[in-house]
Amino acid sequence: MNYSNSIKRNARDGYRRGATAVVFVIMLPVLMLLLGFSVDLAYMQLTRSELRAATDLAAKAASSELAETGDRARAIAKGKLIANANTVAGEGLTLDDSDFVFGNTVRSTTGKWSFTASGSPLNAVQVNGRRTSDAPDGEVDLFFSNLLNGNGFETSADATAGFINADICLVLDRSSSMKLAVSNTATGMGGGDPRSCEIPWADSRWIALDSAIKIFLAKMNDTLAEEQVSIVTYASNYTACGVTNQNVTLEQPLTLDFSSITAAMDNLNNTVWGGNTETSEGMSLARTVLNGPGARTTAEKIMVVLTDGAYTNGVHPADAAALAAGDKIKVHTITFGACPTSVIMDMQETAVAGGGYHFHAPDAATLNDAFSKIAGSISILTQ
Protein backbone atom coordinates (compact mmCIF):
# COMPACT_ATOMS: atom_id res chain seq x y z
CA MET A 1 0.00 0.00 0.00
CA ASN A 2 1.20 3.47 -0.86
CA TYR A 3 1.63 5.39 2.38
CA SER A 4 0.76 8.68 0.70
CA ASN A 5 -2.56 7.36 -0.64
CA SER A 6 -3.51 6.00 2.79
CA ILE A 7 -3.00 9.40 4.36
CA LYS A 8 -5.15 11.05 1.71
CA ARG A 9 -7.95 8.47 2.18
CA ASN A 10 -7.97 8.93 5.97
CA ALA A 11 -8.10 12.65 5.51
CA ARG A 12 -11.13 12.38 3.23
CA ASP A 13 -12.93 10.14 5.79
CA GLY A 14 -12.23 12.67 8.48
CA TYR A 15 -13.61 15.45 6.37
CA ARG A 16 -16.81 13.43 5.78
CA ARG A 17 -17.27 12.73 9.48
CA GLY A 18 -16.72 16.36 10.26
CA ALA A 19 -19.22 17.47 7.64
CA THR A 20 -21.84 15.04 8.98
CA ALA A 21 -21.34 16.34 12.48
CA VAL A 22 -21.74 19.91 11.28
CA VAL A 23 -24.96 19.05 9.43
CA PHE A 24 -26.30 17.24 12.52
CA VAL A 25 -25.51 20.24 14.72
CA ILE A 26 -27.25 22.55 12.25
CA MET A 27 -30.32 20.25 11.89
CA LEU A 28 -30.71 19.46 15.60
CA PRO A 29 -32.70 22.63 16.43
CA VAL A 30 -34.89 22.02 13.39
CA LEU A 31 -35.55 18.45 14.48
CA MET A 32 -36.35 19.66 17.98
CA LEU A 33 -38.78 22.20 16.56
CA LEU A 34 -40.48 19.53 14.44
CA LEU A 35 -40.70 17.19 17.42
CA GLY A 36 -42.09 19.92 19.62
CA PHE A 37 -44.59 20.97 16.97
CA SER A 38 -45.81 17.36 16.54
CA VAL A 39 -46.23 16.81 20.27
CA ASP A 40 -47.98 20.14 20.80
CA LEU A 41 -50.21 19.66 17.75
CA ALA A 42 -51.46 16.35 19.15
CA TYR A 43 -51.97 17.98 22.56
CA MET A 44 -53.92 20.84 20.98
CA GLN A 45 -56.25 18.39 19.23
CA LEU A 46 -56.78 16.48 22.47
CA THR A 47 -57.53 19.72 24.33
CA ARG A 48 -60.09 20.77 21.72
CA SER A 49 -61.85 17.41 22.06
CA GLU A 50 -61.83 17.62 25.86
CA LEU A 51 -63.21 21.16 25.76
CA ARG A 52 -66.03 20.20 23.39
CA ALA A 53 -67.00 17.26 25.60
CA ALA A 54 -66.90 19.31 28.82
CA THR A 55 -68.91 22.13 27.24
CA ASP A 56 -71.53 19.72 25.86
CA LEU A 57 -71.98 18.07 29.24
CA ALA A 58 -72.20 21.43 31.02
CA ALA A 59 -74.91 22.61 28.60
CA LYS A 60 -76.92 19.41 29.06
CA ALA A 61 -76.63 19.57 32.84
CA ALA A 62 -77.68 23.23 32.93
CA SER A 63 -80.61 22.58 30.60
CA SER A 64 -81.80 19.60 32.65
CA GLU A 65 -81.67 21.66 35.84
CA LEU A 66 -83.53 24.51 34.15
CA ALA A 67 -86.20 22.10 32.95
CA GLU A 68 -86.59 20.66 36.45
CA THR A 69 -86.52 23.85 38.51
CA GLY A 70 -86.91 26.87 36.22
CA ASP A 71 -84.12 28.51 38.25
CA ARG A 72 -81.34 30.11 36.18
CA ALA A 73 -78.95 30.37 39.13
CA ARG A 74 -79.31 26.67 39.88
CA ALA A 75 -78.88 25.85 36.20
CA ILE A 76 -75.62 27.82 36.11
CA ALA A 77 -74.40 26.18 39.31
CA LYS A 78 -75.14 22.70 37.93
CA GLY A 79 -73.43 23.50 34.64
CA LYS A 80 -70.34 24.80 36.44
CA LEU A 81 -70.21 21.71 38.64
CA ILE A 82 -70.31 19.32 35.68
CA ALA A 83 -67.80 21.39 33.68
CA ASN A 84 -65.32 21.34 36.55
CA ALA A 85 -65.70 17.58 36.86
CA ASN A 86 -64.40 17.18 33.30
CA THR A 87 -60.69 17.52 32.56
CA VAL A 88 -59.46 19.97 29.94
CA ALA A 89 -55.68 20.13 29.52
CA GLY A 90 -55.16 18.38 32.82
CA GLU A 91 -57.57 20.38 34.99
CA GLY A 92 -61.31 20.81 35.47
CA LEU A 93 -62.97 23.39 33.24
CA THR A 94 -63.95 26.58 35.09
CA LEU A 95 -66.86 28.61 33.71
CA ASP A 96 -68.04 32.15 34.46
CA ASP A 97 -71.70 33.04 34.90
CA SER A 98 -71.36 35.04 31.67
CA ASP A 99 -70.51 31.82 29.82
CA PHE A 100 -74.17 30.75 30.18
CA VAL A 101 -76.73 32.25 27.79
CA PHE A 102 -80.43 31.45 28.24
CA GLY A 103 -82.92 31.52 25.41
CA ASN A 104 -85.24 29.57 23.15
CA THR A 105 -84.55 26.78 20.69
CA VAL A 106 -87.00 25.65 18.03
CA ARG A 107 -86.82 23.07 15.28
CA SER A 108 -87.43 24.19 11.72
CA THR A 109 -89.36 22.18 9.16
CA THR A 110 -86.00 20.87 7.90
CA GLY A 111 -85.29 19.35 11.31
CA LYS A 112 -82.50 21.75 12.29
CA TRP A 113 -82.50 23.47 15.68
CA SER A 114 -82.14 27.24 15.96
CA PHE A 115 -81.20 29.05 19.20
CA THR A 116 -82.30 32.61 20.02
CA ALA A 117 -80.69 34.29 23.02
CA SER A 118 -83.30 35.66 25.48
CA GLY A 119 -86.02 34.09 23.30
CA SER A 120 -89.36 33.02 24.73
CA PRO A 121 -90.49 30.58 25.95
CA LEU A 122 -87.27 29.87 27.80
CA ASN A 123 -86.23 26.31 26.97
CA ALA A 124 -82.51 26.24 26.22
CA VAL A 125 -79.03 27.06 27.54
CA GLN A 126 -75.99 27.91 25.45
CA VAL A 127 -72.59 27.44 27.11
CA ASN A 128 -69.33 28.99 25.93
CA GLY A 129 -66.37 26.90 27.10
CA ARG A 130 -63.07 28.79 26.92
CA ARG A 131 -59.38 28.23 27.40
CA THR A 132 -58.26 31.70 26.37
CA SER A 133 -56.13 34.39 27.96
CA ASP A 134 -59.22 36.05 29.48
CA ALA A 135 -60.87 32.78 30.62
CA PRO A 136 -60.88 31.72 34.30
CA ASP A 137 -58.37 28.94 33.56
CA GLY A 138 -56.37 31.00 31.08
CA GLU A 139 -54.81 29.71 27.90
CA VAL A 140 -53.35 26.22 27.56
CA ASP A 141 -49.62 25.85 28.22
CA LEU A 142 -47.85 23.85 25.52
CA PHE A 143 -44.93 21.53 26.18
CA PHE A 144 -42.58 23.22 23.72
CA SER A 145 -43.98 26.75 23.57
CA ASN A 146 -40.55 28.19 24.43
CA LEU A 147 -39.20 26.71 21.21
CA LEU A 148 -41.88 28.52 19.24
CA ASN A 149 -43.13 31.97 20.20
CA GLY A 150 -43.40 31.45 23.95
CA ASN A 151 -47.21 31.79 23.89
CA GLY A 152 -49.81 29.26 24.98
CA PHE A 153 -52.70 27.85 22.97
CA GLU A 154 -56.21 29.37 22.93
CA THR A 155 -59.40 27.53 22.03
CA SER A 156 -63.14 27.77 22.68
CA ALA A 157 -66.30 25.74 22.05
CA ASP A 158 -70.03 26.48 22.16
CA ALA A 159 -72.77 23.99 23.04
CA THR A 160 -76.54 24.44 23.22
CA ALA A 161 -79.00 22.14 24.95
CA GLY A 162 -82.73 22.58 25.38
CA PHE A 163 -85.84 20.77 26.49
CA ILE A 164 -88.62 19.97 24.09
CA ASN A 165 -92.09 21.44 23.93
CA ALA A 166 -94.43 18.60 23.12
CA ASP A 167 -97.93 17.93 21.83
CA ILE A 168 -99.19 14.79 23.58
CA CYS A 169 -102.29 12.72 22.95
CA LEU A 170 -103.33 10.24 25.64
CA VAL A 171 -105.15 7.36 23.93
CA LEU A 172 -107.12 5.59 26.66
CA ASP A 173 -109.01 2.32 26.70
CA ARG A 174 -112.61 2.78 27.93
CA SER A 175 -113.76 -0.75 27.17
CA SER A 176 -115.96 -2.45 29.76
CA SER A 177 -113.04 -4.30 31.35
CA MET A 178 -111.55 -0.99 32.50
CA LYS A 179 -114.34 -0.93 35.10
CA LEU A 180 -113.08 -4.16 36.67
CA ALA A 181 -111.19 -3.92 39.94
CA VAL A 182 -107.45 -3.49 39.56
CA SER A 183 -107.02 -6.72 41.53
CA ASN A 184 -109.36 -8.65 39.21
CA THR A 185 -107.42 -11.01 36.95
CA ALA A 186 -110.21 -11.35 34.38
CA THR A 187 -109.44 -10.10 30.87
CA GLY A 188 -113.02 -9.05 30.13
CA MET A 189 -116.30 -8.06 31.77
CA GLY A 190 -119.45 -10.09 31.27
CA GLY A 191 -122.80 -8.44 30.72
CA GLY A 192 -124.07 -9.75 34.04
CA ASP A 193 -121.34 -8.06 36.05
CA PRO A 194 -122.91 -5.54 38.48
CA ARG A 195 -120.36 -2.93 37.41
CA SER A 196 -121.24 -3.04 33.71
CA CYS A 197 -124.14 -0.57 33.92
CA GLU A 198 -122.56 1.71 36.50
CA ILE A 199 -119.95 4.43 36.54
CA PRO A 200 -116.40 3.26 37.43
CA TRP A 201 -116.09 2.17 41.05
CA ALA A 202 -113.35 3.53 43.28
CA ASP A 203 -111.27 0.34 43.03
CA SER A 204 -111.55 0.08 39.26
CA ARG A 205 -108.78 0.12 36.69
CA TRP A 206 -110.22 3.33 35.29
CA ILE A 207 -109.98 5.23 38.57
CA ALA A 208 -106.41 3.98 38.97
CA LEU A 209 -105.73 5.35 35.48
CA ASP A 210 -107.24 8.68 36.49
CA SER A 211 -104.81 8.90 39.43
CA ALA A 212 -101.86 8.03 37.17
CA ILE A 213 -102.80 10.75 34.70
CA LYS A 214 -102.89 13.29 37.52
CA ILE A 215 -99.30 12.28 38.35
CA PHE A 216 -98.39 12.62 34.68
CA LEU A 217 -99.88 16.11 34.48
CA ALA A 218 -98.18 17.19 37.72
CA LYS A 219 -94.81 16.13 36.33
CA MET A 220 -95.50 18.00 33.11
CA ASN A 221 -96.40 21.08 35.14
CA ASP A 222 -93.01 20.99 36.88
CA THR A 223 -91.10 21.76 33.68
CA LEU A 224 -90.64 25.02 31.78
CA ALA A 225 -91.54 23.30 28.53
CA GLU A 226 -94.96 24.09 27.06
CA GLU A 227 -96.75 20.78 26.66
CA GLN A 228 -100.15 20.54 25.05
CA VAL A 229 -102.17 17.49 26.06
CA SER A 230 -105.30 15.95 24.58
CA ILE A 231 -107.39 12.88 25.40
CA VAL A 232 -108.85 10.33 23.00
CA THR A 233 -110.79 7.34 24.34
CA TYR A 234 -111.68 4.19 22.45
CA ALA A 235 -113.98 1.19 22.92
CA SER A 236 -116.50 0.09 20.25
CA ASN A 237 -119.88 1.15 18.90
CA TYR A 238 -122.01 -0.31 21.68
CA THR A 239 -125.47 0.18 23.13
CA ALA A 240 -126.28 -1.17 26.59
CA CYS A 241 -127.69 0.01 29.89
CA GLY A 242 -129.65 2.64 28.00
CA VAL A 243 -126.40 4.21 26.78
CA THR A 244 -124.97 4.33 23.25
CA ASN A 245 -121.17 4.44 23.10
CA GLN A 246 -119.06 5.46 20.12
CA ASN A 247 -115.98 3.46 19.26
CA VAL A 248 -113.73 6.51 19.51
CA THR A 249 -114.16 9.96 21.05
CA LEU A 250 -112.06 13.10 21.28
CA GLU A 251 -112.65 13.91 24.94
CA GLN A 252 -110.38 16.99 24.97
CA PRO A 253 -108.53 18.66 22.09
CA LEU A 254 -104.91 19.74 22.54
CA THR A 255 -104.65 22.29 25.32
CA LEU A 256 -102.08 23.99 27.53
CA ASP A 257 -104.71 24.11 30.29
CA PHE A 258 -104.26 20.89 32.22
CA SER A 259 -107.38 21.60 34.27
CA SER A 260 -109.32 20.86 31.07
CA ILE A 261 -107.71 17.42 30.98
CA THR A 262 -108.65 16.83 34.62
CA ALA A 263 -112.22 17.95 33.90
CA ALA A 264 -112.47 15.56 30.95
CA MET A 265 -111.31 12.69 33.14
CA ASP A 266 -113.74 13.70 35.89
CA ASN A 267 -116.56 13.57 33.35
CA LEU A 268 -115.56 10.04 32.33
CA ASN A 269 -115.29 9.04 35.99
CA ASN A 270 -118.98 9.87 36.34
CA THR A 271 -120.28 8.45 33.06
CA VAL A 272 -121.57 4.98 32.17
CA TRP A 273 -119.63 3.57 29.22
CA GLY A 274 -118.36 0.25 27.89
CA GLY A 275 -117.70 -1.83 24.81
CA ASN A 276 -114.85 -3.70 23.16
CA THR A 277 -111.28 -2.61 22.40
CA GLU A 278 -110.75 -0.98 19.00
CA THR A 279 -107.25 0.24 19.81
CA SER A 280 -106.18 1.20 16.30
CA GLU A 281 -109.29 3.38 15.89
CA GLY A 282 -108.24 5.41 18.90
CA MET A 283 -104.72 5.70 17.52
CA SER A 284 -106.06 6.83 14.16
CA LEU A 285 -108.01 9.68 15.76
CA ALA A 286 -105.00 10.61 17.88
CA ARG A 287 -102.90 10.81 14.72
CA THR A 288 -105.46 13.20 13.25
CA VAL A 289 -105.32 15.32 16.41
CA LEU A 290 -101.51 15.50 16.39
CA ASN A 291 -101.50 16.48 12.72
CA GLY A 292 -104.42 18.87 13.07
CA PRO A 293 -104.73 22.65 13.34
CA GLY A 294 -104.24 22.63 17.12
CA ALA A 295 -100.83 20.97 16.83
CA ARG A 296 -97.62 23.02 16.69
CA THR A 297 -95.20 22.44 13.84
CA THR A 298 -92.18 22.99 16.12
CA ALA A 299 -93.37 20.65 18.91
CA GLU A 300 -92.55 16.99 19.31
CA LYS A 301 -95.59 14.79 18.68
CA ILE A 302 -96.18 12.03 21.20
CA MET A 303 -98.92 9.42 21.54
CA VAL A 304 -99.39 7.42 24.76
CA VAL A 305 -101.61 4.38 24.22
CA LEU A 306 -103.02 2.48 27.20
CA THR A 307 -104.97 -0.76 27.06
CA ASP A 308 -105.97 -3.57 29.40
CA GLY A 309 -106.84 -6.11 26.72
CA ALA A 310 -106.55 -7.42 23.18
CA TYR A 311 -107.56 -5.26 20.24
CA THR A 312 -110.91 -6.37 18.78
CA ASN A 313 -110.95 -4.77 15.34
CA GLY A 314 -109.01 -5.98 12.32
CA VAL A 315 -106.12 -3.51 12.32
CA HIS A 316 -103.07 -4.36 14.43
CA PRO A 317 -102.04 -1.39 16.62
CA ALA A 318 -98.47 -1.77 15.32
CA ASP A 319 -99.72 -0.89 11.83
CA ALA A 320 -101.36 2.25 13.23
CA ALA A 321 -98.11 3.07 15.05
CA ALA A 322 -96.11 2.73 11.84
CA LEU A 323 -98.41 5.25 10.16
CA ALA A 324 -97.94 7.58 13.13
CA ALA A 325 -94.16 7.18 12.97
CA GLY A 326 -94.33 8.21 9.32
CA ASP A 327 -95.80 11.49 10.56
CA LYS A 328 -92.94 11.85 13.09
CA ILE A 329 -95.24 10.88 15.97
CA LYS A 330 -93.57 8.87 18.74
CA VAL A 331 -95.80 6.14 20.19
CA HIS A 332 -95.41 4.88 23.78
CA THR A 333 -97.58 2.00 24.98
CA ILE A 334 -98.79 0.79 28.37
CA THR A 335 -100.49 -2.51 29.13
CA PHE A 336 -102.39 -2.49 32.41
CA GLY A 337 -103.74 -5.17 34.69
CA ALA A 338 -104.01 -8.89 33.98
CA CYS A 339 -103.07 -8.71 30.30
CA PRO A 340 -102.28 -11.99 28.54
CA THR A 341 -98.75 -12.35 27.21
CA SER A 342 -100.07 -12.00 23.65
CA VAL A 343 -101.46 -8.54 24.45
CA ILE A 344 -98.20 -7.44 26.03
CA MET A 345 -96.30 -8.66 22.97
CA ASP A 346 -98.70 -6.83 20.63
CA MET A 347 -98.17 -3.56 22.46
CA GLN A 348 -94.42 -4.07 22.66
CA GLU A 349 -94.46 -4.46 18.89
CA THR A 350 -96.58 -1.32 18.66
CA ALA A 351 -94.07 0.70 20.70
CA VAL A 352 -91.21 -0.53 18.50
CA ALA A 353 -93.12 0.46 15.36
CA GLY A 354 -93.79 3.87 16.87
CA GLY A 355 -90.24 4.46 18.08
CA GLY A 356 -91.30 4.65 21.72
CA TYR A 357 -91.23 2.71 24.98
CA HIS A 358 -93.50 -0.03 26.27
CA PHE A 359 -94.41 -0.46 29.93
CA HIS A 360 -96.42 -3.23 31.55
CA ALA A 361 -98.22 -2.16 34.72
CA PRO A 362 -99.81 -5.06 36.61
CA ASP A 363 -101.05 -2.78 39.39
CA ALA A 364 -101.75 0.86 40.25
CA ALA A 365 -98.28 1.57 41.63
CA THR A 366 -96.51 0.42 38.48
CA LEU A 367 -99.04 2.33 36.38
CA ASN A 368 -98.14 5.52 38.25
CA ASP A 369 -94.48 4.75 37.66
CA ALA A 370 -95.03 4.15 33.94
CA PHE A 371 -96.74 7.50 33.42
CA SER A 372 -94.07 9.21 35.52
CA LYS A 373 -91.29 7.71 33.40
CA ILE A 374 -92.99 8.69 30.17
CA ALA A 375 -93.40 12.23 31.47
CA GLY A 376 -89.71 12.30 32.34
CA SER A 377 -88.70 11.05 28.90
CA ILE A 378 -90.65 13.84 27.21
CA SER A 379 -88.51 16.61 28.76
CA ILE A 380 -85.42 15.48 26.87
CA LEU A 381 -82.54 17.46 25.44
CA THR A 382 -82.76 18.81 21.93
CA GLN A 383 -79.09 19.13 20.97
Q: What is the mean pLDDT of the chain?
A: 87
Give the model's confidence band at 263: pLDDT under 50 very low, under 70 low, under 90 confident, else very high. very high
Q: Residue 265 pLDDT more than 70?
A: yes
Give the class (CATH, top level) of 166-378.
Answer: alpha beta
**With pLDDT > 70 as the criterion, what percentage of the chain qualifies?**
85
- Residue 120: per-residue pLDDT: 79
Compute CA distances 182 → 160, 231, 365, whole Å. 45, 22, 11
Sequence ranges of the domains in the chain: 3-162, 166-378
Q: What is the pLDDT of residue 329?
A: 96
Q: How far apart are CA 306 and CA 288, in angstroms?
A: 18
Q: For residues 281 and 126, what is the distance between their CA atoms, to the nearest angstrom?
A: 42
How high is the pLDDT of residue 344? 96
| Chain centroid, CA 195 distance in Å | 41
pLDDT at 33: 54
pLDDT digits (tens, 9 = 90+) for 2-16: 555 555 555 455 555
Q: Please state, in angstroms and rounded to a whole number, the distance separating the CA atoms of residues 44 and 49.
A: 9
Among 183, 154, 117, 148, which Cα is nearest to 338's?
183
Q: pLDDT at position 156, please?
A: 96
- Residue 197's closest CA among 247, 241, 246? 241
Residues 50, 86 contacting (CB under 8 angstroms): yes
Q: Tell me, what's the pLDDT at 187?
A: 81
d(CA 306, CA 169): 11
Kindly write down the DSSP assignment for every residue of 303-314, as one continuous string: EEEEESS---SS
CA distance 304 to 217: 13
- Look at residues 247, 332, 228, 232 and name the one whose alpha carbon lies nearest to residue 288: 232
Helix or strand or coil: residue 230?
A: strand
Residue 246 has pLDDT above 70, yes or no: yes
Question: Is the whole model's pTM more than 0.75, yes or no?
Answer: no
Pairing label, strands 91-92, 300-307: unpaired
Instruction: State mean pLDDT over 115-130.
Output: 91
209 C-beta neighbours (distance < 10 Å), count = 30
The pLDDT of residue 45: 86
pLDDT in tens, 301-327: 999 999 999 999 889 999 999 999 999
What pLDDT is stored for residue 123 in this prediction? 85
Q: Which tens digits make up the pLDDT trace of 221-239?
A: 887 678 999 999 999 998 9
The model's pLDDT over 173-203, given as tens digits with 9 standing for 90+, comes to 999 999 999 999 888 887 678 898 999 999 9
Query: Looking at residue 57, what is its pLDDT?
Result: 94
Percent of the chain with pLDDT over 90: 65
Return the higher-pLDDT residue of 150 and 157.
157
- Give the pLDDT score at 21: 56
pLDDT on residue 382: 54
Residue 67 has pLDDT above 90, yes or no: no
Distances (CA, A) of 174 to 126, 203, 234, 244, 380: 44, 15, 6, 13, 30
| pLDDT at residue 181 in the model | 95
Note if the bond before 121 is cis, omega within 30 degrees.
yes
C-alpha 122: how far from its chain's center? 17
Q: Are 233 and 268 in contact (CB under 8 A)?
A: yes
